[in-house]
Structure 1
């Protein structure tokens, strides 16, 4: 069976967004001159083989493209979907269709996108059906938390950026039980360390 993989850029203290001076969230950024959590997508000299416009360092490109090539479909939570400008009506992955999981209707969802309102298990099942035997990517802290609670996540990749944001939106939400991980790979790269874990059951 295909695997479910969740990956995201995070600060060392576990945030995916910081706070602006007026208290609003800014996805992927901290205060003042703090770096974007996604700067490493564009700061290198190695073009991605999967994503047009991405230029990463060589170690980041090698890991990032290998993971991206495994995906046949992507599941995104509602908050991630909205913060990402609804992915322009398409998908965050150029070759993998998007399934959006939400507890309520999503007005104006793209024709190329699938909405599932009956929970993360059904969303992952729909993504597996669309993935053609390849793996499923999972985006968003809320979706990840729900999937971890139901034992549906196989691998977790944290692209850890060396900054402490101190406040904002945390990637991991509260879990009802602990989740044990086994480190598969740690790849240091300019501006980021890639931590690839297996989720133990």
Structure 2
């Protein structure tokens, strides 16, 4: 594995593990956005240090330093279908502006753009295709379902949680039911205004 690109996931989460909150009517459906969890991404814009990777992001200095290093690693992204839908298809692009997107789904996706690739044959094929596209950079996984499948297939090297100090108490959980025990080793913990960046490696 050492001579291959790494596979990792990075996502903003509440302390109790949610990536979106409750909606006013309690319905969790496509197009409902973050519900009452909009604060999970405030740290992207509440600082005075512009990101060198993502235009428009202004973070605190410690967040910018950590975020840009992680973002610059991404050579390709694998997204689950639910995350793809909830993100409004990333406008036909991807979450990382310069990295191709591979969408994992078991059903047709007529909305897939020319800049995106639909993979219907499983997480192993999606990550293999992303690795080929990433070259000497790494593969990022977006979405709890895709991450869970990749963990089950022993394909994940690192998990990064941008943990925001709030308990949402409901909404959409990031981690789905992991089918086996997974040990993590904490590599870095960076406290920053409004968020703590937790960088883990998967122990094999």
- Taking structure 2 as the reference length, the TM-score comes to 0.94
Partner SS for 1:136: strand
Indicate the residue corresponding to 2:73 in structure 1: 70
Aligned equivalents of 2:38, 2:96: Cα separation in 1 = 24
1:108-150 Cα distance to aligned partner (Å, 9 max, x none):
2011101100011100000001001210010000000000000
- Counterpart residue number, 1:23: 26
Deviation sequence 1:17-69 (CA, Å, 0-9, x none)? 11123102354342xxx652111111110000000000111001000000111
**What residue is the counterpart of 2:91 in the other structure?**
88
1:137-166 CA deviation, whole Å, 9 max, x = no partner?
100000000000000000000000000000
- Other-structure match for 1:40: 43
CA contact (8 A) 1:160 1:192 kept: yes
How many residue pairs end up in the alignment? 198
After the TM superposition, which residues 77-116 of structure 1 pair with which residues of structure 2 at under 5 Å, given as runs?
A: 77-116=80-119
Alignment of 1:56-67 (within 5 A): 56-67=59-70
In the TM superposition, residue 90 of structure 1 has moved relative to its aligned partner by: 0.7
What does 1:5-16 correspond to in 2, within 5 Å?
5-16=8-19
- Counterpart of 2:75 in 1: which secondary structure? strand
Q: Secondary structure at the match of 2:128?
A: helix
Query: Is the partner of 1:158 in helix, strand or coil?
Result: strand
Which segments of 5 or more consecutive residues in structure 1 lack a partner in the other structure?
Answer: none
Tell me the secondary structure at the aligned position of residue 21 of structure 2. strand
Select 2:168's aligned residue among 161, 165, 179.
165
Q: Is the 8 A contact 1:102 1:117 kept in 2?
A: yes
Residue 129 of structure 1: aligned partner? 132
Alignment RMSD: 1.1
